[in-house]
Amino acid sequence: MKFYILKFVGVVCLLAVSGSSGDSPRPAWREYDILRAFPPGRLAALSIGDFPDARGLTGRNRGNGSWLEAGPQCGSCRGVIASVVAGSLTAADDVWRGIDAAFAHQFADGGFEAEIRPKGASARPHGAAVETAFFFLQELGRAILVIRQSQHEEHCRARISALEPKIRRACDFISAGYDTIIVNSSHAVNCIIITAKAFGTCGLVLHDDKLVATSRKLIFHALTSGDKEGVFIENGRRDSSYNVVSILFPARPKA
């Protein structure tokens, strides 16, 4: 449940890519505003597992006890969001270690180191390397946008500025792998939309209209990938949970 709730609140990031609703009497809420409206303690409870260990590892990397790939580090980005929304800058500074740990494993071409997963798969091949990178970037871009919407942007400004060249290289890496995204991820439309979120949010962070345009292109591809009744297919099946996630991500809720 936690995974899907956090995906739902992440939908708001795509509003900035799409633009606000023209028939709304007031501007759509920013994601920061929506998260601030959560009941006290709710966001902290949802993010309790997102804080890094002593080495800065989160998610499957933390569970493995050593670095596997970049994607699992997206949890640290959610931890930063929760800390900033709560106004706990000490916690935000601490959890930022997870983001730094990810970029400590970045190659010069923008991709990230990967090891063999416990079950034998790996993000070393190019298509898989692109996928694990965009899973990390989609939450990193979101985190930076939430920070910029908050009153704590100045506190994080230097840290974000130092990351921008690294984010640029990572975006160049996944852009160069665009064809592999279509081939490898179209079986799971939610992955296409997650990729769109990476391009869109990082495009806004970097003020790069080309990245935002790529995000829109991927959203269009996703929205035309359902069956004749409009259901998004996951690995050849009508998986209701993935279908709901696919619907929520490009949604434009009214404020």
How much of the chain exceeds pLDDT 70, in percent?
80
Neighbouring residues of 87: CB distance < 8 A, sequence distance ≥ 6? 152
For the cut 50, the answer to whether the pLDDT of residue 61 exceeds it is yes
At residue 246, the pLDDT reads 60
Q: What is the dihedral of CA 146, 204, 132, 215, to 10 degrees?
A: 120
pLDDT for 242: 59
Given this model, what pLDDT does residue 5 score?
38
Q: Residue-wise over 187-214: b if at least 16 C-beta within 10 A, else e?
A: ebbbbbbbbbbbbbbbbbbbebeebbeb
Instruction: Give the burial class of 10: count Cβ atoms within 10 A of its Cβ; 0-12 exposed, 13-18 middle, 19 or more buried.
Output: buried
Flag whether pLDDT at 252 surpasses 60: no
pLDDT tens sequence across 120-144: 889 999 999 999 999 999 999 999 9
Q: Name the residue type at position 39.
A: P
- The domain locations on the chain are 2-185
On average, the pLDDT of the chain sits at 85
